[in-house]
Amino acid sequence: MDKFVIRGGNPLVGTVRVSGAKNSALACMAAPILTADEVILENIPQVRDIETERRLLAAMGAEVELGYGRAQHRAKINCGPLTKPVAEYEIVKTMRASALVLGPLVARMGWARVSMPGGCAIGARPIDQHIKGLEKMGVTIAQEHGYLDARTDRLKGAHIVFDVITVTGTEDLLMAATLAEGETVMENCAREPEITDLVALLTAMGAKIEGAGTSTIRVRGVSKLHGAKHRINPDRIEAGTLMAAGAITRGDLIVSNCNPAHLGAPIAKLEEMGARVDRLGHDSVRVRADGALRAADVSTEEYPGFPTDMQGQFMALATQAEGVSLVKENIFENRFMHVQELVRMGANIKIDSNNSARVLGPAKLSAAAVMCSDLRASASLVLAALVADGESILDRVYHMDRGYERIEEKLRGVGAQIRRMGNIFAAREEAMISG
């Protein structure tokens, strides 16, 4: 299993480029199921979750080509030959975003058999909103042997009000509605940039959608969608993580190829903590932190609020800030897995309840052997290790590889001392690079 060895102490200086958004790409890779034509996606990040989705689609009979090169990262997806609308447990268990194929499969094929995703490290993560919405659209869903069996003669437009705001739930039903008969109105939708990215692709494929990026989305169903080409947004969470890395190391970092408009809450928080953030043109930000950092409270919310996917990284930053920072996690019920590892590195963090913690800083962090428990917890530990005294060893970095493209190379390029031990994942990927 790969490990990162990180020696802390170097300020990050220079320019680092952000990859395409993993969570946009995962939704956009499910959209081609809705058509028999080819869909081309550009700016696909080279991360493990994307490879998992390629396997998921390929197992159904789709042709998927992932090509990574210096100039572009591209996926060519042709779901024309898709004949087996089944998402097997073996693949679904490794990636919860697999639930995203349920809506498009039943819309195009009339039936689907999709394994129920299990719980995961950060919470139970039910998919009841996906099921309830599809049932309203005329899908009969039976649950047996851990699988959902979904069938319909023809999807019908419906009025759906989400009980909770869900990102992939909004995406799943949105995709299904594009091929439904009549109009679907969805209320209490997620407003994340990943939704607008998906809607841009669906619109290019011929879908009729209004209101993306607001909490009410209207979809006028069409009988057929066609092929399209689409460029994925930059990854706002990777960008936020890199900005936090610049601040925690008291560096001077330019984060390029990002969309600052998607980073309002993290930028405001960095500024509140005393970092200086300058927007450079429309796609770069410069982060500088030379003085003391100040404590700030963070409360995670749906977009445009502070993202849950940045909570761990901000907690690492808060360990270096003067005063008490209150951190509240409102989206997932078990997303403090990084805390015990940060504490082992010398952080002063008290968990008040399962969704709120108090960080007292600044703490002198000392390098330690720590364990990554999920994707964003890994990012939190990388940040802590970048300022810890000595050499930290991060185990289970395969979690990090799910969502950050060659992060060690990017960080090394701006002065971090980080290396990977046992580069199994990269070796496997070299084998599948196709131009």
**168 counts as binding ligand EPU under rule CB under 6 A:** yes
Q: Does 23 bind ligand EPU (CB under 6 A)?
A: yes
| Choice from 72, 83, 128, 224 touching ligand EPU (CB under 6 A) | 128
In whole angstroms, the minimum distance from the beta carbon of 324 to ligand EPU comes to: 26
CA-closest candidate to residue 336, choices 289, 374, 301: 374
Q: 45 to 74, contacts with ligand EPU by CB under 6 A?
A: none
251 binds ligand EPU (CB under 6 A): no
- Largest alpha-carbon pair distance within the chain? 64
Closest approach of Cβ 96 to ligand EPU, in Å?
A: 6
97 binds ligand EPU (CB under 6 A): yes
List 142, 161, 164, 369, residue binding ligand EPU (CB under 6 A):
164
10/233 with CB nearer ligand EPU? 233
Residue 409 makes CB contacts below 8 A (sequence gap 6+) with none
- Out of 57, 109, 263, 331, which residue is the one contacting ligand EPU (CB under 6 A)? 331
Residue count (the chain): 435
Q: Is 98 in the site for ligand EPU (CB under 6 A)?
A: no
* Binding of residue 106 to ligand EPU (CB under 6 A): no
How many angstroms separate the CA atoms of 290 and 293, rounded? 9
CB-based contact 348:359 (threshold 8 Å):
yes
Q: CA 253 to CA 170: how far, in whole Å?
A: 35
Record the tokens describing residue 30, joined without a space: 């499910």
Question: 307 with 165: CB under 8 angstroms?
Answer: no
Our finding on whether 213 is near ligand EPU (CB under 6 A) is no
Beta carbon nearer to ligand EPU, 23 or 35 = 23
Q: Determine if 259 is a binding residue for ligand EPU (CB under 6 A).
A: no
Residues 44, 201 contacting (CB under 8 angstroms): no
Phi and psi at 226, nearest 5°, equal -125, 180
Q: Residues 295, 321: contact at Cβ < 8 Å?
A: yes
Question: Is residue 338 part of the contact set for ligand EPU (CB under 6 A)?
Answer: no
Q: How far is the CB of 36 from ligand EPU (least distance, A)?
A: 25
DSSP states of 303-353: TTSB-GGGHHHHHHHHTTEEEEEEEE--S-TT--HHHHHHHHTT-EEEEEE
- Whole-angstrom CA distances from 99 to 47, 67, 130, 144 are 19, 25, 8, 16
In whole angstroms, the minimum distance from the beta carbon of 379 to ligand EPU comes to 9
Region binding ligand EPU by CB under 6 A among candidate stretches 55-63, 160-168, 173-181, 391-399: 160-168
Provide the 8-state DSSP code for 37.
Answer: S
Residue 134 binding ligand EPU, by CB under 6 A: no
Answer yes or no whether residue 325 interacts with ligand EPU by CB under 6 A: no
Beta strand segments in 117-241, E: 140-144, 147-151, 159-161, 183-187, 208-210, 217-220, 228-231
Residue 189 annotated as catalytic: no
123 near ligand EPU, judged by CB under 6 A: yes
Instruction: Note the helical H segments in 31-88.
Output: 48-59
User: How many binding residues for ligand EPU (CB under 6 A)?
Assistant: 25
Q: Does 8 bind ligand EPU (CB under 6 A)?
A: no
Q: Which residues are catalytic?
A: 120
Binding residues for ligand EPU (CB under 6 A): 23, 26, 96-97, 123, 125-130, 164, 166-169, 190, 194, 308-309, 331-332, 375-376, 403
